Amino acid sequence: MFKLFSSLRKELLLLINDKVGLALMFLMPLLLVFIITIIQDSAYKMVNENQIPLLVVNQDKGKEGEKLVGLLQKSGLFKIDSQNSIAQESLKSELLSRGKMIALYIPATFSAGLESNAEDVSGILMDDLGLEHDTTAREQISMPKLSFYNDPVLQENYSYSVMSVIQSYMSVIENSLMIDRMYANMDIAERSAKLKDRMISNRVGIDQIVASNNNSTAIPNSTQHNVPAWTIFAMFFMVVSLGSNIVKERVNGSFLRLKTMPTTFMVVMFSKMAIYVVVAALQVALTFSMGVWILPKLGLPKLSVPDNIIATIAVIFISSMAAVSYALMIGAFAKTEQQANGFGAISIIIFGAIGGILVPTFVMPGFMQFFSNFSPLHWCLEGFYVLFLKGGSWQDLRAVFAFLGIFIVFCQLGTYFKLRLERII
Amino acid sequence: MDRTGQVCIEIRGVYKRYKSAQEDSLSDVSLDILQGDVFGLLGPNGAGKTTLISILCGIIPVSSGDVRFFNNGKAYSNAERKSRIGFVPQEYAFYQELTPRQNLDYFGAMYNLSKSKLEERREHLLEVLGLEKAADKKVGTFSGGMKRRVNLAIGIIHEPEILFLDEPTVGVDVQSRNAIIRYLQQINQSGTTIIYTSHHMSEAEEFCKNIALIDHGRVIAAGGLEHLKTAHAVPNLQTLFINLTGEAYRD
């Protein structure tokens, strides 16, 4: 017991003396969680809560352009800057110089084109119903096109979201015009208001329901996504501390010296694993505490801890074992500390990228989604998401435990055989 | 009863060839090392000294041949051997981030010393090896000589019966070298058998009672130092060494 205690103490002392490793393991996750959560949360708010700055150039000669601007204004989603005197040719440069991210150009024929189209649609309906209407030949104006300008740095999905909003308001205007025209052709124009009101106010609503297995589970938000994700990332970054620690002991002969002593190498390895599993648990405690107590104070969503505490502890344990085992294997295979640090850190970034830490796996191309299955970070993240977002049960965690179990065995065997090859074990 | 003179290590027909090597690193090595001896394993670079010490310490196995350990004429097992031997490698095989006290605490515990015995031995060694004042400073900040003394202290913390030293004084100043050799002589006088490799012929001549000269993995001369000098009609060990191993460079 004294031997084990001494070995644990030695590992702890080595860890305490590794200032860079400590900073990477404890400061980095806090900073990452803090920064990424704030960024993602503000991006989320920008779309959903904040008004989007929109430069509008309305050169429409009719009333519909004004109506569209009015609807956009009324929606409360946009902070509209109307600059009708700007020519379309100079809109790009104006957009960039005014610091606006998006602009909408309404052409001069906007109303005329819409009205012409409404007249055509109405004519078709009147013909089909066998009703008389004015068939006097009139000028055909093609359907107008709005021009949407966006700063090149604006993300594509953000632009698409704004265009979808504009499109939905356009539907309202087009439908309204068509109803007006049909009623006018039937000489009952004064009655159109009731139908228009009914059509506009009685649209199919969409209820958003979070597909979780537990009614009390948290609503997905930036905190709920980022705290587990970056905690896992930081856990695996222990490769820099533990990996180089093992390389040092291999290279300086400490391991060989131990081989001449009446002790088993299991004590050494067990001590390392135990200390670093505790480190991983502390990382989790630290970042989760930040999610629960600090982030809400900064106006960010509070981290909601899963109800199934035992399953959460099990996922934390198996994730930390996966991180420790990977670090041991890198330490066993690297020839120098630089190799362990460089390869270890880069491999974690790659595992993190393909594992869905940086961007969700579902937005990745099919082949990348396939490769994500080979990232231990993906399975750790999946384990946390099952608990934090889906309110999953032990059964939902089966694949997580199976894959991480295989990964741990693979790393441990790799470490064992490499150290055996070097005659350390 | 004085057991000096009894064989404590018997090496018979030992061969060692590393995987993928074309030649044997050790070839038909047979030696007897006596209890209480200071035995020098001498030879040029790549001769096989470190390989032989590694085999004797149980770090690597023999390809063929036999090594047996005795205490007062009674053979003991490999497992028992680990408690009875001490090993001081050429490298600084300890933790530079820790203090000498912390290093000794760890390695002493690995030798199964009790807490009280460990504390007693630790303080004794820190004192006799002149490390007392630096006992709570990180070893990484030490001079080469101080690091060598820490390396030695770890190897002898458990008072081994047999001590293996691989170049224990390489790269240290005269003061540290004298301190190390003086202390090794002391522990030898109190009964510890010492097996030692070095490139310092004058140091070996002063320190060793018996030697084995190894070259190309073979023992080319072995016996009492004075006897060998007389038999080869040479004034000192350095001349004997050059006469037997030649003057060509070794890699």
Residue at A207 is within a domain: no
Is residue A326 pLDDT above 80, yes or no?
Answer: yes
Nearest to B94 among A3, A254, A423 (CB): A254
The whole-number average pLDDT for the span A257-283 is 93
- In the block, residue with structure tokens 């779309």: A47
Tell me the domains of chain B and their CATH numbers.
Answer: 7-245 (3.40.50.300)
pLDDT per residue as tens digits for the range B20-32 = 888 999 999 999 9
Tell whether A368 and A414 lie within a shared domain. yes
Tell whether A238 and A372 lie within a shared domain. yes
Query: What band does B3 get if pLDDT is binned at 50, 70 and 90?
Result: very low
* Domain range enclosing A238: 2-42+217-421
Is residue B1 pLDDT above 50, yes or no?
Answer: no
Task: Give the pLDDT confidence score for residue A124 in this predicted structure.
Answer: 87
Task: Report the C-alpha gap between A50 and B27 in whole angstroms.
Answer: 83
Nearest to B83 among A13, A253, A262 (CB): A262
Task: Specify the higher pLDDT residue, A372 or A217.
Answer: A372
- Structural element, H or E, at residue A82: strand A78-82
pLDDT per residue as tens digits for the range A19-78 = 988 998 899 889 988 888 888 777 666 555 667 788 899 999 999 999 999 989 888 888
Residue at A210 is within a domain: no
As given in the structure block, the two tokens for residue B170 are 């390489």
Q: Which residue of B has its CA nearest to A13?
A: B98
As given in the structure block, the two tokens for residue A220 are 């997905």
Task: Report the C-alpha gap between B32 and B43 in whole angstroms.
Answer: 18
Query: Is A259–B58 a contact, with Cβ atoms under 8 angstroms apart?
Result: yes
As to burial, measured by CB atoms within 10 angstroms (0-12 exposed, 13-18 middle, 19+ buried), residue A186 is: middle
Q: What are phi and psi of A147, to 5 degrees?
A: -115, 130
Q: Residue A101 is part of a domain; what is its CATH number?
A: 3.40.1710
Average per-residue pLDDT in chain A? 87
Residue at A75 is within a domain: yes
As given in the structure block, the two tokens for residue B159 are 């008072």
Residue at A209 is within a domain: no
- In the block, residue with structure tokens 């039937």: A186
Tell whether A221 and A129 lie within a shared domain. no
- Chain B residues within 8 A of A2 when measuring between CB atoms: 109, 114-115
Query: Is A262–B85 a contact, with Cβ atoms under 8 angstroms apart?
Result: no
Is residue B60 pLDDT above 50, yes or no?
Answer: yes
Query: Is A260–B59 a contact, with Cβ atoms under 8 angstroms apart?
Result: yes
- Structural element, H or E, at residue A421: helix A398-421
As given in the structure block, the two tokens for residue B95 are 């933790």
Closest residue by Cα to residue B43 from B250, B195, B203: B250
Residue at A145 is within a domain: yes
Task: Give the pLDDT confidence score for residue A285 in this predicted structure.
Answer: 94
Query: What band does A363 get if pLDDT is binned at 50, 70 and 90?
Result: confident
Query: Is A6–B106 a contact, with Cβ atoms under 8 angstroms apart?
Result: yes
Query: What band does A330 get if pLDDT is binned at 50, 70 and 90?
Result: very high
Is residue A254 pLDDT above 50, yes or no?
Answer: yes
Tell whether A389 and A260 lie within a shared domain. yes
As given in the structure block, the two tokens for residue A145 are 């096109």
Tell whether A104 and A29 lie within a shared domain. no
Closest residue by Cα to residue B209 from B184, B233, B232: B184
Task: Report the C-alpha gap between B121 and B105 in whole angstroms.
Answer: 10
Query: Is B79–A262 a contact, with Cβ atoms under 8 angstroms apart?
Result: yes
The whole-number average pLDDT for the span B207-224 is 92
Tell whether A174 and A252 lie within a shared domain. no
Tell whether A348 and A410 lie within a shared domain. yes
Length reported for chain A: 425
pLDDT per residue as tens digits for the range A377-417 = 999 999 998 888 877 788 889 999 999 999 999 999 999 99
Of A201, A234, A256, the last residue of a domain is: A201
Q: Are A279 and A25 in contact (CB under 8 A)?
A: yes
Q: Which residue of B has its CA nearest to A255?
A: B93
Sequence-ordered list of residues with C-beta below 8 angstroms from that of B77, at least 6 positions apart, any chain: none
- Chain B residues within 8 A of A5 when measuring between CB atoms: 109
**Predicted-complex ipTM score:** 0.88
Question: How many independent structural domains does chain A possess?
Answer: 2
Tell whether A227 and A191 lie within a shared domain. no
Q: Which residues of A touch B (CB under 8 A)?
A: 2-3, 5-7, 9-10, 13-14, 17-18, 252-254, 256-263, 267, 423
Q: Which residue of B has its CA nearest to A265?
A: B110
Query: Is A7–B110 a contact, with Cβ atoms under 8 angstroms apart?
Result: yes
pLDDT per residue as tens digits for the range B146-181 = 999 999 999 999 999 999 999 888 888 888 888 889
Q: Report the relative pairing of strands B210-215 and B38-42 from DSSP bridges.
A: parallel
Is residue B71 pLDDT above 90, yes or no?
Answer: no
Tell whether A36 and A63 lie within a shared domain. no
Tell whether A249 and A368 lie within a shared domain. yes
- Chain B residues within 8 A of A18 when measuring between CB atoms: 97
Sequence-ordered list of residues with C-beta below 8 angstroms from that of A351, at least 6 positions apart, any chain: A236, A375, A376, A377, A378
Nearest to A261 among B97, B110, B138 (CB): B110
DSSP class of residue A220 equals P
- Structural element, H or E, at residue B170: none
Average per-residue pLDDT in chain B? 90
The whole-number average pLDDT for the span B202-228 is 91
**Coil vs helix vs strand at A170:** helix
Closest residue by Cα to residue A242 from A82, A406, A48, A411: A411
pLDDT per residue as tens digits for the range A104-121 = 999 999 999 999 888 888
Handedness of CA A76, A81, A82, A84 (dihedral sign): negative
As given in the structure block, the two tokens for residue A121 are 């649609």
Residue at A117 is within a domain: yes
As given in the structure block, the two tokens for residue A310 are 């035992």
Tell whether A105 and A79 lie within a shared domain. yes
Task: Give the pLDDT confidence score for residue A126 in this predicted structure.
Answer: 84
Query: Is B115–A253 a contact, with Cβ atoms under 8 angstroms apart?
Result: no
Q: Are B67 and B9 in contact (CB under 8 A)?
A: yes
- Chain B residues within 8 A of A262 when measuring between CB atoms: 79, 82-83, 110-112
Residue at A206 is within a domain: no
Of A153, A176, A201, the last residue of a domain is: A201
Query: Is A13–B102 a contact, with Cβ atoms under 8 angstroms apart?
Result: yes
CA distances from A14 to A9, A390, B219 (A): 9, 39, 43
Of A201, A235, A264, the last residue of a domain is: A201
Task: Give the pLDDT confidence score for residue A137 in this predicted structure.
Answer: 65
pLDDT per residue as tens digits for the range A145-203 = 999 998 877 777 778 888 988 998 898 898 888 888 888 888 887 888 888 888 777 77
Nearest to B109 among A3, A256, A257 (CB): A3
Task: Give the pLDDT confidence score for residue A416 in this predicted structure.
Answer: 95
Task: Give the pLDDT confidence score for residue A210 in this predicted structure.
Answer: 66
- Chain A residues within 8 A of B57 when measuring between CB atoms: 259-260
Tell whether A154 and A56 lie within a shared domain. yes
Residue at A211 is within a domain: no
